[in-house]
Amino acid sequence: MNIEPPNLNIYLERKERWGLVLIGASIVTMVVVAFVNVAFAKAFAASAIVVLPILWFLYFPSRAKTATRTQRGAIRLSVYFAVFVYLALAKHYLIPLVLSLIENLLA
């Protein structure tokens, strides 16, 4: 006797928004920690700016991720190039901007 239903081969797209929950939890954590230790809040914000979008892209299902798995060549290369450009921009522009915002808000 088979207890499991037959496989209907229907792709069910997830409606969960775990990436947004992760970003919201990081922001709340940074704000709470800023009242306790400002230096750690700055370090946490800098690492979150760099790491969270990459984690969101790599670990949570998205259309860009499925496009890189199915496509070869130029599309895959352009997605990875965009990731590296984001890392460079985050290092030079986003991190100093957020650190100055934290300093101005807590000063």
Domain range list for the chain: 18-106
The pLDDT value given to residue 20: 79
Query: Would you tell me how many other CB atoms lie within 10 Å of the CB of residue 41?
Result: 20
Q: What is the pLDDT of residues 28-82, one digit of tens each?
A: 998 899 889 888 888 888 888 888 877 777 776 666 666 666 667 777 788 788 8
Is 0.85 surpassed by the pTM of this model? no
Predicted local distance difference test score (pLDDT) of residue 28: 93
What phi and psi values does residue 105 have, to the nearest 5 degrees?
Answer: -75, -35
